[in-house]
Amino acid sequence: MSRRVPVHITVNGVEHASEVEPRTLLVHYLRDELGLTGTHVGCDTSNCGACTCHLDGESVKSCTVLAVQADGADVKTIEGMADGEKLHPLQEAFWEHHGLQCGYCTPGMIMAAADLLERNPSPTEEEVRKGLEGNLCRCTGYHNIVKAVMAASKVGAPA
């Protein structure tokens, strides 16, 4: 019933040509159109950050971006983080330091952390905590998430 508009979006290195309703959120485009269900939805007010992915190299909350705004852009999701069988250092660190429990916030948390470390490769613990303020986790009390991000940074794992 509703008008659809064409978009060209490159996701994890693969170019997709699709037609979407103008109001389609990027997160629903990724999940429902492309079947990339690693990007999650946990709220409707852009607080929880479960939907965080990268748009042209910067982390965004994909529930607050329209798919049409990503037209022509390069999107990276959690599915694009590992290099084949080899996990991304953040994925490895989250595994090693028990940075996840239910796993629901994890993809967004890793994408936000990747952006944080890109901008600040040697953060202090406080900078990591401030930097992840836009991503909510209810399981871990953030303790092991912070530890994992520190371990994946240039600072390295605490003794």
Partner 1 sequence: MSITEERAASTNGFIGQRVRRLEDPPLLTGQGRYVDDINLVGQLYVAFVRSPEAHAKIASIDTSAATAREDVVAVFTGEDVAVLAPLPMVWAPPGVEMRTPEHWPVARGNVNHVGDPVAVVVGTDRYSVVDATEDVVVEYESLPVVVDPEEALKDSSVIHEALGTNKSHEWGLGGGDVEAGLAEADVVIERRIVNHRIAGGAIEPRGVVAEWRGDELTLWSATQIPHILRLLLAGMLGVPEDKLRVIAPDVGGGFGSKLNVYGEEATLGWLARKLGRPVKWIETRSEGMQATHHGRDQIDYVKMGAKRDGTVTTLHIKVLADLGAYHMLLTPFIPAFTAFVAGGCYKIPNVQTDVVGVFTNKMATDAIRGAGRPEATHILEVMMDQMAAELGMDPLELRRKNFIPPEDFPATVAVGIVYDSGNYPGALDRLLANLDLEAFRREQAELRERGIYRGIGFSTYMEICGLAPSRVVGPSGVGIQAGFWESALIRVHPSGSITAYTGASPHGQGIDTTFAQIVADKLGVTPDQVDVIHGDTGRGPFGMDTYGSRSLAVGGEALVRASNKVHDKVKRLVAHLLEAAPDDIELRDGKFSVKGSPDRGMTLAEASLAAYVPENLPEGMEPGLEETNFYDPENFVYPFGAHAAIVDVDAETGKVSVVRYVAVDDCGPAINPMIIDGQVHGGIAHGLGQALFEHVAYDEDGQLVTGTFVDYALPTAAEFPSFETDRTETPSPVNELGVKGVGEAGTIASSPTVVNAVVDALRPLGVTFMNMPLSPMRVWEAIQAAKGGEGKGPALAEGGGQ
Q: Which of 140, 153 has the CB closer to partner 1?
A: 140
Residue from 39, 54, 59 nearest 105 by CA: 39
> Which range, of 3-11, 54-62, 71-79, 115-123, touches partner 1 by CB under 8 A?
71-79
Is residue 68 within the footprint of partner 1 (CB under 8 A)? Answer: no
Across-strand partners of 53? 60
Exactly one of 34, 50, 65, 116 binds partner 1 (CB under 8 A); that residue is 50
Q: In the stretch 13-42, what mask flags binding to partner 1 with x, by CB under 8 A?
A: --------x-xx---x--xx---xxxxxxx
Q: Which of 142, 153 has the CB closer to partner 1?
A: 142
Q: How far is CA 88 from CA 2, 19, 110, 149, in A?
A: 40, 32, 10, 12
Q: How far is CA 152 from CA 29, 75, 85, 89, 128, in A?
A: 30, 22, 18, 6, 11
Q: Check: CB of residue 100 under 8 Å from CB of residue 40.
A: no
- Location of structure tokens 């479960």: 50
The residues that touch partner 1, with contacts defined as CB under 8 A, are 1-2, 21, 23-24, 28, 31-32, 36-45, 47-48, 50, 77-79, 81-82, 87, 91, 94-96, 98, 100-107, 110, 125, 128-130, 132-147
